[in-house]
Amino acid sequence: MLPRRRGRHVGVRQVSVLSDLAVGEGAVLVCLNLPESVQNHLMHMGFVPDAHVVVLRRAPAGDPTVYGIDGMEIALRHETAASIQVKPAESAHAQDEPTPLAEAAR
């Protein structure tokens, strides 16, 4: 049995998709499972591996969602966000100071 830390198994890599995050939650990008042209477009806007992304707000109907990344606010449709893999921010490294975007989301 794996040791547990704060309710989670140590050594288990938890990967989810960007669209699963709630407003105010942050995560670290793992990879983009999108066509190359879309990947290139998003990467130019800061969606690169190991970048920290925060869910800022959702449209009243739930789509699109506005994400904060690298000091920018970018709206993505659910189908695009569902193709972006992320891991919990605390699994990448201990949370430092809260980012201004994370503070604005609260």
Beta-sheet strand order (sheet of 84-88)? 16-17, 84-88, 26-32, 52-58, 65-69, 72-76
Q: In sequence order, which residues have a C-beta less than 8 Å from that of residue 35 and are 6 or more positions away?
A: none
Mean pLDDT, rounded, for 16-42: 93
| 5 lies in some domain | no
**Beta bridge pairs of residue 83:** none
Query: Mean of the pLDDT values across residues 33-48?
Result: 92
The residues facing 17 across adjacent strands are 85
Domain count, the chain: 1
> CA-CA distance, 53 to 102, in Å (whole number)?
9
Name the residue range of residue 38's domain: 12-105
- For residue 2, pLDDT over 60 is answered with no
Q: What's 27's domain CATH number?
A: 2.30.30.90
Say if 7 falls within a structural domain.
no
Residue 10's pLDDT band, with cuts at 50, 70 and 90, is low
Q: What is the DSSP letter of 20?
A: G
**Residues 49-90: pLDDT tens digits?**
999 999 999 999 889 999 999 889 999 999 999 999 999 987
